[in-house]
Amino acid sequence: MKHKEKKKQKQMKMEKKREEEKNSRKMKPKRVEEPRKKLGKMHREKG
């Protein structure tokens, strides 16, 4: 019983991680765009 319970807990943790990754992927584009824009401006100023 204990082993099965441990396995279930592991599966739950993995599923949670996957869901968090999916959510972070959905959220990332907005976050990623901003630094790129800032970098682009900096490069233009240097040029």
Q: Running DSSP on this structure, what letter comes out for residue 47?
A: -
Alpha helices in 1-47 (DSSP H): 2-46
Q: How confident is the model at residue 47 (pLDDT cuts 50, 70, 90)?
A: low
The 10s digit of each residue's pLDDT in 4-20 is: 899 999 999 999 999 98
Task: Tell me how far apart the alpha carbons of residues 21 and 30 are, in angstroms, rounded to a whole number.
Answer: 15
pTM: 0.42
- Chain centroid, CA 9 distance in Å: 22
Task: Tell me how far apart the alpha carbons of residues 19 and 23 are, in angstroms, rounded to a whole number.
Answer: 6
For the record, the structure tokens of 47 come out as 């040029």
Tell me which residue has tokens 């592991």. 10
